[in-house]
Amino acid sequence: MEVVIIGAGALGSLFGGLLAPHARITLYTTNSEHARAIQQNGLLLTTMEGEQHSLALPVLTGPEQYDRRADLILICTKAGATGAAAVTAQQLLHPEGLVLTLQNGLGNLEQIAACVGRQRAAAGITAQGATLQAPGQVRHAGNGATVLAVGPGQAAAIAAVVRLFNRAGLEIRTSDDVDSLLWSKLIVNVGINALAALLRVPNGTLVEAGACRELMDELVAEAVAVARALCIDLEYEQQLDRVHQVCRQTATNRASMLQDVLRGRPTEIDVINGAVVARGQEVGVPTPVNLLFTRMIKALEATAAQRIS
């Protein structure tokens, strides 16, 4: 199978490294330092067991460098880059290929479908953990399941992706309910990311301190209320338990939004807590806590250059 991974950050590079022995993988990144390091030394992958592998993978920094057509394109960019990634995917994709987003937040699938058509656009979520240690170097930080939503007319293409993940020994499942799948992942990010970024603590701390936990519970309660108003059948207690469980399982991790804030980069707040606020307004469900967190993160972004360390 011919696979292109657009967005070769931590997660994209991890999937590139893990799938490389089982498919023809090409990485696509706009990070020229990362691309140069991989071109010179290969992608250096440190496995969960601490073994190091150097993988010679082709890296693209522009669509014109690709002279084949991809059966599968994985999009792993930040949500802010989805529009550009979708346009690139359209240029690289085989007419019968599939574009699969494994990104955070709401709205990515719709943007990709607008470019390549709904039948060729699929969405999934993953609990794999990865850390980009340096340009060209990725560490597998946590082994978790990947779940793919099977959209209309996609059964055969998704089955091929499942076989690929199985060959690579990666846990994978499918679901026929794309909304519940994406909202359950969204709710994990709603409960953790902005809170961790504002408090500057690792994920585990959020469930240890009672005062943090109360805020997290309110963020999650609002998101579940919005989902339910949209006829997405999620249970508050179950979702909250899941958020607490992810905090414990990723206790020492820095949430991606915290990493963005620490590096002075734009965050994904608009497609996470901001998306809950926007959908809440559409269905008449108040979301004051998510609104406050969205505004606080936007204020952090706006003042990044003046921060006193």
Residues in the chain: 309
> Of these, 192, 197, 219, 234, which contacts ligand KPL (CB under 6 A)?
192
Q: How far is the CB of 250 from ligand KPL (least distance, A)?
A: 5
Q: What is the CA radius of gyration of the chain?
A: 19
Q: Is residue 253 close enough to count as binding ligand KPL by CB under 6 A?
A: yes
Say how far residue 278 (Cα) sits from the centre of its chain.
Answer: 20
Nearest alpha carbon to residue 76 among 92, 96, 93, 99: 99
Question: Which of 120, 140, 185, 254 is flagged as catalytic?
Answer: 185
Nearest alpha carbon to residue 77 among 1, 159, 8: 8
> Of these, 189, 239, 287, 290, which contacts ligand KPL (CB under 6 A)?
189
Q: Is residue 82 close enough to count as binding ligand KPL by CB under 6 A?
A: no
> Of these, 29, 101, 193, 239, which contacts ligand KPL (CB under 6 A)?
193
Helix axes 288-302, 210-229, angle to 10 degrees: 110
Q: Which stretch binds ligand KPL (CB under 6 A): 27-35, 112-120, 253-261, 290-298?
A: 253-261
Q: Is residue 207 close enough to count as binding ligand KPL by CB under 6 A?
A: no
| Cα gap 103→126, rounded to integer Å | 9
Q: Is 185 a catalytic residue?
A: yes
> CB-wise, 73 or 255, nearer to ligand KPL?
255
Q: Is residue 190 close enough to count as binding ligand KPL by CB under 6 A?
A: no
Helix axes 210-229, 236-249, angle to 10 degrees: 130
- 36 residue type, one letter: R
Q: How far is the CB of 258 from ligand KPL (least distance, A)?
A: 8
Q: Is residue 10 close enough to count as binding ligand KPL by CB under 6 A?
A: no
Q: Is residue 246 close enough to count as binding ligand KPL by CB under 6 A?
A: yes
> Of these, 188, 226, 285, 297, which contacts ligand KPL (CB under 6 A)?
188
Q: How far is the CB of 255 from ligand KPL (least distance, A)?
A: 4
Q: Which stretch binds ligand KPL (CB under 6 A): 26-34, 85-93, 184-192, 230-238?
A: 184-192
Q: What are phi and psi of 168, to 5 degrees?
A: -85, 0
> Cβ(257)–Cβ(269) under 8 Å?
yes
User: Burial level of 295, CB count in 10 A (0-12/13-18/19+)?
Assistant: middle
Q: Is residue 128 close enough to count as binding ligand KPL by CB under 6 A?
A: no
Residue for token digits 């059948």? Answer: 233
| Cα gap 261→294, rounded to integer Å | 13
Q: How far is the CB of 193 from ligand KPL (least distance, A)?
A: 5
Q: Is residue 203 close enough to count as binding ligand KPL by CB under 6 A?
A: yes
> CB-wise, 104 or 287, nearer to ligand KPL?
104
Pairing state of beta strands 52-55 and 43-46? antiparallel
Name the site residues for ligand KPL (rule: CB under 6 A). Answer: 104, 188-189, 192-193, 203, 246, 250, 253, 255-256
Instruction: List the catalytic residues.
Output: 185
